[in-house]
Amino acid sequence: MDLEGVSYIDITPEISSSLDVFPGDVAFKRTVSFDNQKGNHLTLSSIESTLHLGAHTDAPNHYQKDGEGISLRSLDYYMGPCQVIDVSNIATFGGRIVSQDIKNIQIKTSRVLFKTCSFQHNNWNNDFCALSEGLVKELAKQGVKLIGIDTPSIDLMESKDLKAHTAVSENNMAILEGIDLNHVSEGEYQLISLPLKIKDADASPVRAILIPLN
């Protein structure tokens, strides 16, 4: 695919110490070892962070005991035609989107991103919207292989049984969480959201972009 000169929409929240993570998880921190603004011959820094940071994809071993790490996942999941579905007018804070909510929407691609507008990336709220187990299973039946959402998780904040994640696992799908769709209109796009090749990792941050198809 020749992307030179192609316009795109960046759906990745900026990574900084202001970007909130799940309570109790490791927040982002960048440490500068050398700084060319302070007389060093170059700038050199390191980072400490959860892998579930901003726009990220979960690996199967995050929610499945014998699941594979992110470095073994096929990149086919994370790039290709996708469909953004705006459910912000029906999303209930602290609730789940169910199959009935999108019964009148035709699923046209094998990747679906849900715009809920229920989470502020730099101002954490516990009552963000999530997806139901039944919705995940219904999308799998329709050939969807990646599900994305503009919240930190496809399951609710306090969920321990992770039913939506389990449905993803049972249907060999992929997950894209924490994306920013506030400035994205409903429709079809090309998605590129490649994870880092981190051995045995349970997740990876991604730089996610959408390329409009028309």
CATH label of the domain that carries residue 179: 3.50.30.50
- Confirm whether pTM is higher than 0.85: yes
**Could you give the C-alpha distances from 53 to 24, 134, 167, 178, in angstroms and in order?**
13, 26, 22, 8
Could you tell me if residue 128 is inside a domain?
yes
Q: Are 162 and 175 a contacting pair, CB within 8 Å?
A: no
Q: Does a structural domain hold residue 46?
A: no
| Residue 101 placed within a domain | yes
Domain residues for the domain of 65 are: 9-13+51-212
Q: What is the pLDDT along the chain (214 residues), one digit of tens a residue?
A: 566 778 999 999 999 999 999 999 999 999 999 999 998 999 999 999 999 999 999 999 999 999 999 999 999 999 999 999 999 999 889 999 999 999 999 999 999 999 999 999 899 999 999 999 999 999 999 999 999 999 999 999 999 999 999 999 999 999 999 999 999 999 999 999 999 999 999 999 999 999 998 7
Residue 1 inside a domain? The answer is: no
Residue 18 domain-assigned? no
Residue 25 lies in a domain: no
Q: Is residue 172 part of a domain?
A: yes
Q: Identify the residue whose tokens are 């499945």.
A: 64
- Number of structural domains the chain divides into: 1
- pLDDT of res. 4: 76
Catalytic residue numbers, as ranges: 62
Buried/exposed code over 132-153 (b: 16+ C-beta within 10 A; e: otherwise): bbebbbbbbeeebbbbbbbbbb
pLDDT one-digit tens code per residue, 138-194: 999 999 999 999 999 999 999 999 999 999 999 999 999 999 999 999 999 999 999
Structure token pair of residue 9 = 């929409």
Q: According to the model, what pLDDT value does residue 1 have?
A: 55
- Identify the pLDDT of residue 2: 62
* Cβ atoms of 38 and 189 closer than 8 Å: no
Query: What CA–CA distances, in Å, run from 102 to 88, 89, 90, 120, 134?
Result: 12, 12, 10, 24, 12
The 3-state secondary structure of 142-162, one letter per residue: CCCCEEEECCCCCCCCCCCCC
Answer for the pair 124, 20: CB distance below 8 angstroms, yes or no: yes
CA torsion 209-210-211-214 (nearest 10°) is -160
Q: Is there a domain that residue 73 lies in?
A: yes
